Amino acid sequence: MKTRLLAGKHISEIGMGCMNVSHAYSGKLNEKDAIALLRSAFDLGINHFDTAALYGFGENEKIVGNAIKPFRDKVFLASKCGMTGVDGKRVIDGRPETLNKTLDSALQSMQTDFIDLYYLHRIDANIPVEESIDALSKAVAAGKIGAIGLSEVSAATLARAHAVHPIAAVQTEYSLWTRNAEIAVLDACKMRGIAFVGFSPLARGFLCDTFATTDELDAGDIRRGMPRFQGENWQHNRQLYTQFSLLAKQAGCTPAQLAIKWVLTQGDFIHALPGTRLLSHLKENVAASSLVLPNDILEKASSLINYNTVMGPRYPPLAQSDIDTEEFA
């Protein structure tokens, strides 16, 4: 696995997004199978594991902690605070006292005394970001976390936060069909030497053909409520995928590998963070690191699937209201 810098450390350029095994998507794994999958990721060369307090309302951090326990000192551990589950509902809370409590709970759940990178998962509209970052900076000073990250933020918010304490990474959805970071955040990160971690590089399963319609998904799968997976939007987007899969075949790789490789080629400060619950998909994702593709294939992929060709916003209105990232007109 090739490596890239993240919070001052050489980390596998493809990380393991751990959400899928216990949160938001269909086919959640039992703890035994989830642990086996995460340990397989380490065996395959991944040393970047990403979780959050929100995922499984705390259960995901426990699974990750159990999985990496035998090799904790050999992996880069990232988690997130500021968005948790309270009484079965998602709550955004950036108050310092809440962040401190969430951090202490995370350390206990993951059976560690140190988290390499701790993100503010969402910006609390009621709390100045400076207050939240100041609280996390004190956790750095206390030796509980190594670096601070932000998730789904605008370039303006990044600048405000970075003025309080150095921000090591920004994590935002980034793929061929979600390019919001290209408006300003990628440039802002590059200018400041901040790593960018692109989650959902496979467009939430769209770019690896994991399902033909949302009817195949579990009732609680969040993609059922996402406009791009619905009605005419989905029919149009599926036609794009058909062309994309043919392009991948022409390149001699799978659609998933083409999608991940495209993300990685957008800048050497960019990390790809796919998630999966299947070992076969995990092996497929990892193989993208060593893949060499001609520029014309990457350019064709970019022209085929982008914010102008895809139909539908990425989130429904309520979820979109929680996002600070810039939006295309």
| φ and ψ of 152, to 5 deg | 55, 55
Q: pLDDT tens, position by position, for the chain (329 residues)?
A: 999 999 999 999 999 999 999 999 999 999 999 999 999 999 999 999 999 999 999 999 999 999 999 999 999 999 999 999 998 899 999 999 999 999 999 999 999 999 999 999 999 999 999 999 999 999 999 999 999 999 999 999 999 999 999 999 999 999 999 999 999 999 999 999 999 999 999 999 999 988 888 899 999 999 999 999 999 999 999 999 999 999 999 999 999 999 999 999 999 999 999 999 999 999 999 999 999 999 999 999 999 999 999 999 999 998 999 999 999 98
- The DSSP 8-state label assigned to residue 14 in this structure reads B
Half-sphere exposure of 256 (CA within 13 A, CB side): 20
Write down the pLDDT at residue 324. 96
Helix axes 231-251, 255-264, angle to 10 degrees: 90
| φ and ψ of 149, to 5 deg | -130, 165
Rg of the chain over Cα atoms, rounded to whole angstroms, equals: 19
**Are 16 and 271 contacting, i.e. CB atoms less than 8 angstroms apart?**
no
Write down the pLDDT at residue 41. 98
Exposure of 219 by Cβ count < 10 A (0-12 exposed, 13-18 middle, 19+ buried)?
exposed
Helix (H, G, I), strand (E, B) or coil at 211: coil
Give the residue extent of every domain in the chain: 3-205+267-290
Write down the pLDDT at residue 296. 97
Helices (H) and strands (E) in the chain, counts: 11, 12
- In one-letter notation, the amino acid at residue 52 is A
**Are 134 and 166 contacting, i.e. CB atoms less than 8 angstroms apart?**
no
Write down the pLDDT at residue 238. 96
Residue for token pair 């995901």: 60
The tokens for 105 are 């709970």
Q: Give the CATH fold of the 3-205+267-290 domain.
A: TIM Barrel (3.20.20)
Residue 167, strand partner residues: 148
Helix (H, G, I), strand (E, B) or coil at 180: helix
**Residue 154 CB partners (closer than 8 Å, separation 6+):** 184, 185, 324, 325, 326
Q: Which are the catalytic amino acids?
A: 55
Query: What's the CA gap between 135 and 155, in Å, rounded?
Result: 21
Query: What's the CA gap between 287 and 256, in Å, rounded?
Result: 10
Query: What's the CA gap between 21 and 63, in Å, rounded?
Result: 9
Query: What's the CA gap between 271 and 14, in Å, rounded?
Result: 6
Query: What's the CA gap between 275 and 256, in Å, rounded?
Result: 12
pTM of the model: 0.97
Nearest to 240 by CA among 295, 175, 311: 311
Query: What's the CA gap between 299 and 27, in Å, rounded?
Result: 34
Query: What's the CA gap between 50 and 61, in Å, rounded?
Result: 9
Cα pseudo-dihedral 306, 269, 76, 109, rounded to 10: -50
E runs forming strands in the chain: 3-6, 9-12, 16-17, 48-50, 76-81, 83-86, 89-92, 115-120, 145-151, 167-173, 195-199, 270-273
Q: Sign of torsion, CA 87 92 96 101?
A: positive
Helix (H, G, I), strand (E, B) or coil at 266: coil
